[in-house]
Structure 1
Amino acid sequence: MTGRRRGTSAGLDRGQIAVAAVALVDRHGLDRFGVRRLADDLGVDPMSIYHHIKGKAALLDAICEAVIAEVELGDDQTTQDWEQAARRTAHSYRQMAYRHPRVFPLLVTRPQSSPVALAVLERLVAAMRRAGLPDQVTADAPVTLFGFLNGYLTAVLSGGPDGPSQMPALDSSAYPTLAAVAHFQADFGSAAEFERLLDTVLCGIRHQAARRSSETP
């Protein structure tokens, strides 16, 4: 193809490809993402991409790694208690999701076992073990925390890049109890709501840790 660079002479590396792929999904969404479109953006032949990343599945994984790398781990991991570590991770993860709402579904639907993803979990688990939390609670905590984060952020970001979806109006005659408390959800998707729900999750982990510690002979 005239004007396109090929092979190793294209001057690409995996990181550059991943960054360009994230930008492409940010603009057009996953439905319109493809290797040929990415190659057009980079000005290379598609085979130049496959030289570094073997197949579309691997490319999607590289996209996930690129956005997870944006989640801050903190500067001094030894001084943070486990709740500080969990809270900072959660807020940084939320900020990343808001920056990349069209990429975020990949994080929910694909296994996240890359080194960058494991580094995020390692920081949280290490902080919990330093705090002396029971190992079962420590093992359950990442599933609990990221189960909440992925489910909540998926719901909030379902409106796409235009912003959080709004809670639907309820028929008070059919759902009187839900309608009675609906005004408490008026801040759906807000930072205040996120902090409130995160507090509930962390309180649950803290309660489980205290309960299991009290059961240990």
Structure 2
Amino acid sequence: MARRTQGTSAGLDRGKIARAAVALVDRDGLDRFGVRRLAQELEVDPMSIYHHVKGKAALLDAMSEAVLVEMMSGAGDPPGGWVETARWIAQHYRDLAYRHPEVFPLLVTRAQLNPVALTALNQLVDAMRTAGLPDRVVADAPMTLFGFLNGYLLAVLNGQPGASPAVDPAAYPALASVTPLQHDYGTATEFDRLLDTVLAGLGARAANPGAAR
């Protein structure tokens, strides 16, 4: 099919462009992504894309929003309780990272101020305030939770799940003594365990008014 020239209707909108961009990055990686390559995939002139998305930065933001919309579209309603809500968000976010590992770095490196991201955070904050947690703990919770999620998921997506790190016991005896306990690196079991640690830390701060300033 011949490429549509500038100004020719291609049935495009922001959502269709973003989903096509996600599919392209899923296939070829973020390093190779560009508006011209996306235009070739859509068989349109690049200016047809810019008519709907104002520049590459806006396109990257649209891609982030597209995968978050996908994440939440099948998530249903959050469960009751702030711990359950936080775990619900975290589990869906992990699933998203594994479905779109090439797109996931965009969620880490770009501010997520789109409605779907803000809605999920609002649900967490609302659940925490309803439970009576101190506002200082509530305000810190999104950064605490996503600091863990983003750092952990970036690490394991580039690692080998289920493999213990190789450590020289002669040089690092204390570290080597605990590496057998890291045999489940990158697995859902490890993720759940570390997530429990993060949530327990937030709960402990909430239970200690003096620490929640």
Question: Into which bin does the TM-score normalised by the smaller protein fall?
Answer: over 0.9
1:177 aligns with 2:192: no
Distance 1:213 1:134, change over 3 A: farther
Q: Give 1:212 shift.
A: 1.7
Instruction: State the shift of 1:118 in Å.
Output: 0.8
TM-score by length of 2: 0.92
Is the CA contact 1:71–1:93 (under 8 Å) kept in the aligned structure 2?
Answer: yes
| Secondary structure, counterpart of 2:44 in structure 1 | coil
Residue type of the partner of 2:48?
S
What is the Cα deviation at residue 8 of structure 1? 6.2
Can you give the 5+ residue segments of structure 1 that lack an aligned partner in the other structure?
none
> What is the deviation of 1:97?
0.3
The TM-score normalised by the length of structure 1 is 0.91
Q: State how far apart, in whole Å, the 1-side matches of 2:164 and 2:37 are.
A: 35
Aligned partner of residue 72 in structure 2, secondary structure? coil
Residue of structure 2 in register with 1:119 after alignment:
119
Residue deviations 1:108-166 (CA, integer Å, cap 9, x gap): 1111111121111111101111111111111111110000000000100124xxx6495
Amino acid at match of 1:194: F
Distance 2:129 2:7 in 1: 47
Find the partner of 2:193 among 193, 196, 216. 196
Report the counterpart of residue 13 of structure 2 in structure 1: 13
Flag the 1:18–1:165 CA change in 2: closer, same or farther, 3 A.
farther
- For the 8 Å contact 1:134–1:213, the answer to whether it is kept is no
**Alpha-carbon spacing, 1:210–1:185, altered in 2? closer, same or farther (3 Å):** same
Aligned pair in 2 of structure 1 residues 165, 60: CA closer, same or farther (>3 Å)?
A: farther
Q: Check conservation: 2:18, 2:62, Cα contact below 8 A.
A: yes
Q: Which amino acid aligns with 2:204?
A: H
Identity of aligned residues (%): 64
Give the match's secondary structure for 1:119.
helix
Distance 1:34 1:45, change over 3 A: same
* Equivalent-residue separation in structure 2 for 1:57 and 1:129 (angstroms): 34
Say whether the 8 Å CA contact 2:134–2:212 is kept in structure 1: no
CA distance in 1, matches of 2:204, 2:34: 46
Instruction: Confirm or deny: 8 A CA contact 1:72 1:89 kept in the other structure.
Output: no
Pairwise CA RMSD: 2.2
Which amino acid in the other structure matches residue 59 of structure 1?
A: L
Match of 1:208 among 202, 205, 210: 205
> In the alignment, which residue of structure 1 is the partner of 2:143?
143
Matched residues, number: 212
